[in-house]
C-alpha cells in the first residue's frame, strides 16, 4: 500500500531535520575541542611565535585566512599571509629568524592549494633544521603525503568534495589528524571563512603556543645521518 502524500511529506521533513541535526553535530565536533577552553598564550610566548597563512589559487578565494590572521595579531601573535607560491621563500625567512632566535615556535596554516603546499614547506624547514610545531590544512585539493613532520598536523577536509585526507609516508614522525566535515554545510570556498572552523584553528594555535615552553627538536629527513650527540642521548621528553 502506498503511503499518502501527507505521510510522505512528513517523512521527508523528518529526514531533512535529521540531516540538519547531524550536520550541526559534526560541525560542533570541529568547533568544540579541549583546546578551545584554554586561555590565550602569554605575551612572551606569543611574541616569539610566527604563523604563516598560505592562500590558495589566485589569492582571492582564501580571504578567511586574513580574518584568522587579524584575530591572531590581536592576541599579539605575529603573522604572515601570502599566496601558496611563496612557500619556499617563506621557509627561508622562517629559518633565518629561527636561527637568530627571533622565532621559537613556527605554525603553518593553508587553504586549498595553500594546504597542498604545507608538506613541501614542512620538508624544507626540516631540511634546514627548523621544527614546525603545528600545521593546519583546510581542504587540500590534491592528494597530500607527509614525508617529514610537524609535531602535529591537522587536516580539516570535506570528504565528499574536492578535499583529500592526508597520508603519512614511511618514516613520518609526528601526530596526524584527518578531520572530515562533510555534511556540515561547509564548502571548499567557505571552509576558511566559517566561524566554527576559524575558532578551531585559533584554539589549536593557542594550545600549540602554550605547549611551546621549549621549541620542538628539528625533524631530520628520512635516511639522514643522526648527530653523534643525538644518537647517544636518552629518549627525549615529549611535550
Model pLDDT for residues 129-160, shown as the tens digit of each residue: 999 999 999 999 887 788 877 999 999 999 99
Whether 238 is covered by a domain: the verdict is: no
Cell of 123: 620538508
Q: Measured between alpha carbons, how far is 134 from 204 in angstroms, rounded to an integer?
A: 8
The CATH number linked to 153 is 3.40.50.1820
Give start and end residues of each alpha helix (H) in the chain.
5-31, 43-47, 64-74, 87-99, 113-116, 118-127, 195-210, 228-232
pLDDT at 63: 95
- Which of 28-37, 108-117, 170-179, 219-228 is the most confident on average? 108-117
Cell of 47: 611574541
Judge contact between 136 and 108, C-beta under 8 A. yes
Whether 228 is covered by a domain: the verdict is: no
Q: Which residues have C-beta within 8 Å of that of residue 113, sequence separation ≥ 6?
A: 56, 57, 84, 141
Min mean pLDDT across 39-53, 67-81, 98-112 is at: 39-53
Domain total of the chain? 1
Whether 14 is covered by a domain: the verdict is: no
Q: Band of the pLDDT at 163, cuts 50, 70, 90?
A: confident
Whether 233 is covered by a domain: the verdict is: no
Whether 9 is covered by a domain: the verdict is: no
pLDDT tens per residue across span 6-34? 444 444 454 544 544 445 444 544 444 44
Using alpha carbons only, what angle is made at residue 40 by residues 158 and 103, rounded to the nearest 5 degrees? 85
Judge contact between 135 and 115, C-beta under 8 A. no
Whether 1 is covered by a domain: the verdict is: no
**Whole domain around residue 129: which residue ranges?**
20-32+42-213
Residue 77 has pLDDT above 50, yes or no: yes
Judge contact between 66 and 193, C-beta under 8 A. no
DSSP tag of 59: G
Q: Which residue in this structure is represented by grid cell 592528494?
A: 143
Q: Measured between alpha carbons, how far is 20 from 81 in angstroms, rounded to an integer?
A: 34
- Which of 19-23, 57-61, 122-126 is the most confident on average? 122-126
pLDDT at 3: 46
Closest residue by Cα to residue 135 from 105, 158, 164: 105
Q: Measured between alpha carbons, how far is 217 from 219 in angstroms, rounded to an integer?
A: 6
Q: Band of the pLDDT at 122, cuts 50, 70, 90?
A: very high
Whether 225 is covered by a domain: the verdict is: no
Residue 41 has pLDDT above 90, yes or no: no
Residue 238 has pLDDT above 80, yes or no: no
What mean pLDDT is reported for the chain? 80
pLDDT at 58: 84
Amino acid at each position: 500500500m502506498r503511503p499518502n502524500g501527507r505521510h510522505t511529506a512528513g517523512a521527508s521533513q523528518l529526514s531533512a531535520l535529521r540531516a540538519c541535526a547531524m550536520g550541526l553535530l559534526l560541525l560542533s565536533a570541529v568547533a568544540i575541542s579541549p583546546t578551545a577552553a584554554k586561555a590565550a598564550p602569554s605575551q612572551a610566548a606569543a611574541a616569539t611565535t610566527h604563523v604563516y597563512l598560505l592562500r590558495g589559487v589566485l589569492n582571492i578565494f582564501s580571504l578567511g585566512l586574513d580574518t584568522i590572521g587579524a584575530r591572531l595579531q590581536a592576541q599579539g601573535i605575529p603573522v604572515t599571509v601570502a599566496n601558496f607560491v611563496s612557500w619556499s621563500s617563506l621557509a627561508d625567512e622562517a629559518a633565518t629568524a629561527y636561527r637568530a632566535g627571533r622565532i621559537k615556535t613556527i605554525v603553518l596554516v593553508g587553504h586549498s592549494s595553500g594546504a597542498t603546499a604545507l608538506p613541501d614547506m614542512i620538508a624544507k624547514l626540516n631540511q634546514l633544521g627548523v621544527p614546525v610545531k603545528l600545521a593546519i590544512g583546510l581542504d587540500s585539493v590534491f592528494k597530500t603525503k607527509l614525508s617529514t613532520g610537524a609535531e602535529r598536523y591537522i587536516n580539516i577536509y570535506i570528504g565528499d568534495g574536492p578535499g583529500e585526507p592526508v597520508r603519512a609516508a614511511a618514516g613520518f614522525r609526528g601526530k596526524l589528524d584527518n578531520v572530515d566535515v562533510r555534511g556540515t554545510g561547509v564548502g571548499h570556498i567557505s571552509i576558511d571563512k566559517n566561524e566554527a572552523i576559524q575558532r578551531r584553528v585559533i584554539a589549536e594555535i593557542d594550545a600549540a603556543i602554550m605547549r611551546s615552553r621549549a621549541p620542538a627538536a628539528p625533524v631530520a629527513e628520512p635516511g639522514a645521518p643522526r648527530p653523534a650527540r643525538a644518537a647517544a642521548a636518552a629518549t627525549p621528553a615529549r611535550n
